[in-house]
Structure 1
């Protein structure tokens, strides 16, 4: 029986240069969420829940055309970028 990790794409940046990219850990984090290990998913990739929230808000905005939906999406995008960059810097400290 194969696991989800058998179907994950390798990180080209890590393969070529030997260092993680900004997205390293996202696939494994999603796999952990699917397996029900929510804490480990957050530890693996802290931005995973805000990314899921942003995608949910995006889907709702596309469906219902919220008046200020673009502002909420921009705020979530900025929060995600800050979390991702902070986590990336913490990997090297």
Structure 2
């Protein structure tokens, strides 16, 4: 369960409000909240790509301060995995 008041600060999905359909990003905020709560399985069920997006953002931020070898290849792989998970999850929502 989400902590009290956290729903008040979440950005609403305009696609869902206007069209009634989930967008490919629906669930990301709730997934991050589940991660902070330590509920890793619920986070994966909510938005599987969170496990590739967070390391991707962390690596990109770390590369600003430290030069990481082969960062381009790592970033490309993480981006492809993220896109694959996002699209796969989005398609499964409609099945």
Please indicate, yes or no, whether the TM-score normalized by the shorter chain is above 0.5.
yes
> Aligned partners of 2:71 and 2:94: how far apart in 1?
35
The equivalent of 1:65 in structure 2 is: 67
| Superposition map of 1:1-93 within 5 A | 2-93=4-95
> Aligned partners of 2:77 and 2:63: how far apart in 1?
14
Gaps of 5+ in 2: none
Q: CA deviation at 1:67?
A: 3.4
Bigger mean CA deviation after superposition, 56-65 or 44-53: 56-65
> Aligned partners of 1:90 and 1:59: how far apart in 2?
31
Aligned to 1:59, the other structure's residue is in SS state helix
Q: CA deviation at 1:38?
A: 1.1
Aligned to 2:31, the other structure's residue is in SS state helix
Number of equivalent positions: 93
Give deviations 1:26-80, integer Å, cap 9, x for gaps.
0011111111211101100001111111111112222212232122111111110
Gaps of 5+ in 1: none
Provide the TM-score with structure 1 as the length reference: 0.92
CA RMSD of superposed structures (Å): 1.4
Bigger mean CA deviation after superposition, 12-21 or 69-78: 69-78
Provide the TM-score with structure 2 as the length reference: 0.90
> Aligned partners of 1:71 and 1:62: how far apart in 2?
16
> Aligned partners of 2:51 and 2:5: how far apart in 1?
22
